Amino acid sequence: MTDLADDPARVRDGVRDRGATTIADRVVAKIAAQAAREALDSVPRGGSKPHASVAVHRDTARVSVSLDLDYPSDIGRQCGAVRNRVRTRVEELVGLEVHEVAVHVEHLHSAHTRHTSSRGRLA
């Protein structure tokens, strides 16, 4: 009788026989949104938290993240940080290779436009 550990082909077959773990797209999207929040300096006052959608095909994912940012700020740096953090966390936590992270800035929030007088003009 051959020990399972002595035969690499039988080890691979044994792994396949045990099944597979499938992670729902919505779970991957939640992980991506959390990673985007972690990458940002802060969520703008009055702004929305980042949200994400994903398209998973086999072992790869394409991620789309929508977010609000403060203005003025280094928008390019923040979007780059979001891309890197989302890619890293999804790959680490889920094991999917991330081919693309598209970042969509939905709104820019300025501290100057938050303070208005009773007539709706800037104070």
Local structure of residue 72 (DSSP, 8 states): S
pLDDT of 103 strictly over 90: yes
pLDDT at position 34 over 50: yes
Q: What is the pLDDT of residue 14?
A: 57
* DSSP assignment letter at 42: -
Confidence (pLDDT) at 117: 42
Indicate the pTM of the whole model: 0.75
Domains and CATH numbers, the chain: 23-114 (3.30.300.20)
For the cut 70, the answer to whether the pLDDT of residue 13 exceeds it is no
Cis bond leading into 44, ω under 30°? Answer: no
In this model, does residue 111 exceed pLDDT 90?
Answer: no
Residue type, 94: V
Indicate the pLDDT class of residue 22, thresholds 50, 70 and 90: confident
CB-based contact 75:103 (threshold 8 Å): no
Lowest mean pLDDT among 4-8, 38-42, 87-91: 4-8
Contact assessment for residue 104 and residue 42, using Cβ atoms and an 8 Å cutoff: no
pLDDT higher than 80, residue 77:
yes
